[in-house]
Structure formats: C-alpha cells, structure tokens
C-alpha cells in the first residue's frame, strides 16, 4: 500500500471515529437523524459504519457545516488539550501566586500562560483582554514590534520590542535595563 493510500485510509478512519463521537456528544440516536440535519442520505452512514463504505469528502463537509464545526475538523486527529493558567500582570511572576482561572487550549506550547488585563491600562489595553505568552530565554528570539512581557525594577509591563528599547504607551525602557520574560503569541479580546 502506498503512503498516499495509507494517508487517505487514515482520514477515512479519523472521520468515522469523529462522526461517532459527534453522534454521542450531540445525543444523536440514528444515522437518519444525522443525515437529515446534514442533508445527506442515511444509507451512506449505514454503509460507512458497517465497513462497506466511507465517509466521503462531501459527507464530512456537510456534517461540519450542519454542526458548525471548523472546516476540515473531521479530517484531523484529536489534539492534546493543554490547561493554560491565567494570571494578572501584577502576579504573574509571584512565586505564591495562583492562576485566577484556567483556559483549556489546543495547539499551544505547554509552558504558555495568559495575562488578563483587569482594568483599562490605556487606549490599547482594555479590561478583559487576554494575552497568551510563551516564556523565552533570549531577546534574540524577538522581532521588531513583537509584543512581549518585560520586567523592570520589580514590575511587569506589556511592551513592544523596538530593537534598542521596549515601549509601552507611557514609558520606554532600554533593553539593558529590562528583562524580557515572554513573547506574546496570541491576543484574545
């Protein structure tokens, strides 16, 4: 069997498992119920689940649309869930600090963490905004205008990297006077 054929067979088996999980999650009792909502023929599901057929591309996309799933989600293996802690800007590096809550994430580095803005800091940083950070050891991993978490004189700041300094809307810190702690990899509003 060629690797391309193995890959296609793998997608068919992933689709079958994920459709079965979808039926269980949504308490779908019959192929007819799934087919009706998806606008498909129930016999296609019966054939697929008895091993006499496959969940085709057309079927997978129709199911994803009917159940508001992301495009191609039925073709992908399950991803490992990461529990990502959420801290405030003030307590993120406090050794005794506990996360204010946890967010379940997928496809993020295991050591990542969130900072939640508690109150409006300026016109760009509004209360409720979440910044997902990944710790970094070296300033060399930053690019111009990257948003990063820095520490200066015992305080934490969210700043932009500007090659020779870090800038917030109110302050500028020389790169030699501040320690970069983490790089922002996503902002959620």
Residues carrying CATH 2.10.109.10, the chain: 81-188
Under DSSP, is residue 51 helix (H, G, I), strand (E, B) or coil? coil
| Pair of tokens at residue 115 | 């900072």
Phi-psi region of 184 (alpha: psi -120 to 50; beta: other; left: phi over 0): beta
Residue 88 has a pLDDT of: 92
Q: What dotted CATH number matches 3-75?
A: 1.10.260
User: By CB neighbour count within 10 A (0-12 exposed, 13-18 middle, 19+ buried), where does 86 fall?
Assistant: middle
Mean pLDDT of 66-78: 82
Distance between CA atoms of residues 189 and 186, nearest Å: 10
Model confidence at 158, in pLDDT bands (50, 70, 90)?
A: very high
Mean pLDDT score across all residues of the chain: 87
Q: Which ranges constitute the DSSP H helices of the chain?
A: 3-25, 31-38, 42-49, 57-66
Residue 6 has a pLDDT of: 55
Residues carrying CATH 1.10.260, the chain: 3-75
Residue 177 has a pLDDT of: 95
| Pair of tokens at residue 171 | 């302050």
| Pair of tokens at residue 68 | 């508001």
Question: At the topology level of CATH, where does 81-188 sit?
Answer: Umud Fragment, subunit A (2.10.109)
**Residue pLDDT, tens place only, 120-140:** 866 667 888 999 999 998 888
With tokens 């009917």, the residue in question is 66
């Amino acid at each position: 069997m060629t690797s391309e054929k193995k890959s296609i067979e793998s997608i068919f088996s992933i689709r079958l498992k994920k459709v079965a999980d979808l039926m269980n999650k949504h308490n779908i009792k019959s192929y007819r119920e799934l087919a009706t909502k998806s606008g498909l023929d129930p016999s296609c599901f019966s054939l697929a689940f008895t091993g006499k057929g496959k969940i085709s591309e057309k079927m997978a996309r129709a199911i994803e649309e009917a159940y508001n799933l992301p495009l191609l989600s039925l073709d992908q293996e399950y991803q490992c869930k990461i529990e990502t802690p959420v801290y405030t800007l003030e307590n993120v590096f406090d050794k005794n600090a506990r996360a204010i809550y946890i967010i379940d994430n997928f496809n993020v580095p295991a050591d990542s963490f969130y900072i939640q803005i508690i109150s409006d800091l300026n016109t760009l940083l509004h209360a409720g905004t979440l910044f997902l950070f990944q710790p970094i050891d070296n300033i060399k991993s930053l690019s111009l205008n990257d948003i990063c978490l820095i520490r200066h004189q015992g305080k934490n700041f969210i700043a932009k990297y500007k090659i020779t300094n870090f800038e917030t809307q109110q302050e500028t810190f020389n790169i030699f006077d501040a320690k970069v702690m983490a790089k922002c990899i996503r902002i959620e509003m």
